[in-house]
Amino acid sequence: VIDFLRDPDSEVVEQQPEFAVNEHRSIKPAYLVVEGSCTHLGCAPLAEFDVGPADNWFGGFFCPCHGSRFDLSGRVYNGVPAPTNLRVPPYRYIREDIIIIGQESGAA
């Protein structure tokens, strides 16, 4: 999958907090927190988890407005209109099963 991604290492710093610069772009690999807004023109990408008929489609998020595709970590594919990965907002866990979005760890 990495070969098909525009920014596989999440090098565009503005797209995620420092804690999310990892393979999963999250604090916990089982949970992804991203903004539901395509980085092309702001449409809402749809979850398309099934592997599709298109070559190099391994499941992820698909923007129905202009065809941008993102992998299961919200990283943008090459050759689509979206310029960057889906944005990861600051967030933190206050319990094992509760997240506060808009604050990072250590925030009051």
Looking at residues 60-73, what average pLDDT do you find? 92
pLDDT higher than 70, residue 107: no
Residue 66 a catalytic site member: yes
End-to-end CA distance of the chain: 38
- Mean residue pLDDT across the chain: 88
Cα radius of gyration (the chain): 14
CATH 2.102.10.10 applies to domain 1-108: yes
Three-state DSSP state, 13: helix
**Sign of the Cα pseudo-torsion (35, 11, 55, 30, in order):** negative
Domain ranges of the chain: 1-108
Q: pTM for this structure?
A: 0.87
Structure tokens at 106: 């250590």
| pLDDT score at 56 | 72
CA distance 72 to 18: 19
Residues in the chain: 108
Condensed to tens digits (0 to 9), the pLDDT of residues 18-56 reads 999 998 999 999 999 999 999 999 999 988 766 656 667
Looking at 66, 100, 101, 105, which residue is catalytic?
66
